[in-house]
Structure 1
Amino acid sequence: MDYAIFAFLITLGLFLGMLLLLDLGRRIGIRRRAQDPDGATAGTGAVDGAVFALLGLLIAFTFSGAASRFDTRRNLIVEEANDIGTAYLRINLLPASAQPELRESVRRYVDARLEAYRKLPDVEAAKVELAKAAQLQNEIWNQAIAAGRLEGAQPAATMLLLPALNQMFDITTTRTMATQMHPPKIIFAMLFVLALASSLLAGYGMAGGKSRNWIHMGGFALIMAFAIYVILDLEYPRIGLIRVDAFDQVIMEVRAGMK
């Protein structure tokens, strides 16, 4: 199932569940008030405040973390583009006879890197392209070493090129790990449980009204569900509606400049 549809269904389920628990909480509150009018709300304010405060804290924590990781992933794309551009330019330091083959390998490497992220959310297809890029890393490295040993090659050329290639390769590991960095699933489970529990308590607090306040009930459920949906989308910016694909254009521009 497509991730965007899956996330939407989860959020829709949360929204409907919150509405259900709001109404259930109200029914429980009405029954409780009928049995004990004076004690029905005694001490509930402290409990409600603690649960809602914890919910707000957890939402702030998860949203802040998701937004931070989203920015990190965008910055890493720009960093990889810079590393690729630097390594490609330093190929000019090698003997002219060794440059065409190495340039072509780097171009194929960049194509594989771009294709890997285009394949998402097809993870298996993306892994094939990533494996191809990893193989090209060894090829590029060996070609650079061989070029540095050619007659007329300057030692300084290799000293400048190899660190640039190494940095170009290392950033791929950093980006791969960045895509896998997410909060433990128990955090999201706790977020959902707290949202549902808060709905039950909020519904209980609405028991004093003669009729259901659908504006507040629907608004509360909708806002909470939408906030959680945004958090989930920020955590997976390659397969949801909030995406970092536009930043791939930076690497595409570097690739276009490789003549």
Structure 2
Amino acid sequence: MEIGLQIPDFGFPGGTAALGRNLAGVARDADDAGFAYLSVMDHFFQIPSVGPSDRPMLEAYTTLGFLAAHTRRAKLFTYVTGAIYRFAREGGHHARRVVRRTGHARHRGPRARLSVSVHLGTTTRDRAGFWTERFSRPPGRGNREGRNQLPGDLGAAAEPGQSSRVVLKRHCEAEGRDYAEITKTVYHYLDIGPAGEKTSGFLAEARRLHGLGVQAVIGPFPGGADQRRIEIFAKDIIPAVKELA
């Protein structure tokens, strides 16, 4: 099993003047600690569950390019990109641009990947007067290389289980996709307490999720990332969960 860090909040101490320095520091620390994934949200404004809407928010794909300059190993991606406010072809353009600029190879290719291959279909006006774009992936087409490098999420961390896996398997069967080649992930807060006092509980939860077929746990630190908790993950958690593979 692997661990990934999401960075949803950019309200670092020192304000915007220190934002770049602080973000680069978190990225380097997480990369050195062995976090397998590093991600950001694709939002234009901060969401209520994290903070007020006027809290600092960076453009996702520009930020991934910045993170690439300060990391060596971690796979970089958005968790997640919203199809509700980005045309799929625009998202594909951004992702390909990040792939070209990261360059550093890991396993079978660049650390940043476009995980969904889509083909533009038609643009139409619906009954309400909105312009919509339809996308489809013709059978047998698309970039299969590296399609398992980014996660296939099994749903909310509270109770991912058989139903999520059954749905995913059904989609794979419909698309002619090998279920085994998909990395199964779950979004889960990396809550070990301010000083690591909940580490044993987190490890127990990781073992439970592994038993359900989860291969990677990805999420943020409650209250934001800090060097102390990153070090605890490096020493006590990441080595332990690797043994669950």
Superposition TM-score tier, normalisation by shorter sequence = under 0.3
TM-score of the pair, normalised by structure 2: 0.18
Q: Which has the higher helix share?
A: 1
> Per chain length, whose mean CA-contact separation is higher, i.e. which structure has more relative contact order (CA < 8 Å, sep 6+)?
1
Based on CA coordinates, which of the two structures has the bigger radius of gyration? 1
